[in-house]
Structure 1
Amino acid sequence: MDPITKANHAKRLLEDDILKEAFAAVEKDIFEEWRMSAHTDYSGRSDIFHTLKGLERLKARLQAILDDGLVAQSRS
């Protein structure tokens, strides 16, 4: 799939209200899980941190696909 087509797909995903709502709900759940965890639960808190970072990484990857397509489009 070419970068411009991939960018269009990524744009639709990033602008999709249901997906944005899902991301926000998952982030809220992760934060709540962290808030309710014992401060001595280093392993659990580390897992929560990595879960949040994974979600952030997914959003960043979608944004990078969009950005790559915008650059490709500007060069064509």
Structure 2
Amino acid sequence: MSNDPSVRAAQAKRILEDDMFKEMLASIESKATEQWRSSEPHQTEKREDAYRMLRAIGDLRAEFQRVVNDGAFARKRDERKT
């Protein structure tokens, strides 16, 4: 794995834009949302599990986007140096 921010950004961008990756996350989100919606009032843990899953997916996307943004920042910084 590279430590170069530009390389990492390109890899993260490819993953974020990958149709299979997007489809898988959408499927997990849909299932978690349905689990939350279909839960009975007493099924607090079921709702909490769904909430945690949705948060985890959001955090995963945000981390990939952070890597992409860091790479863009590094490229701009390097362009100014030259």
TM-score bracket relative to the smaller structure: over 0.9
Q: Displaced runs of 4+ in structure 1, greater than 4 A?
A: none
Larger Rg: 2
Partner residue of 1:64? 66
Q: How does 1:31-70 map to 2 (within 5 A)?
A: 31-70=33-72
Unaligned runs of 5+ in 1: none
Count of residue pairs the alignment pairs up: 76
TM norm structure 2: 0.87
Q: Percent identity?
A: 37
Report the Cα offset of residue 40 of structure 1: 2.0
Partner residue of 1:9? 11
Q: How does 1:12-27 map to 2 (within 5 A)?
A: 12-27=14-29
For residues 3-34 of structure 1, what are the alpha-carbon distances to aligned partners after superposition, in whole Å with 9 as ceiling and x for unaligned? 11100000000111111111111111111111
Give the distance between the partners of 2:71 and 2:6, measured in 1 at CA.
4
Unaligned runs of 5+ in 2: none
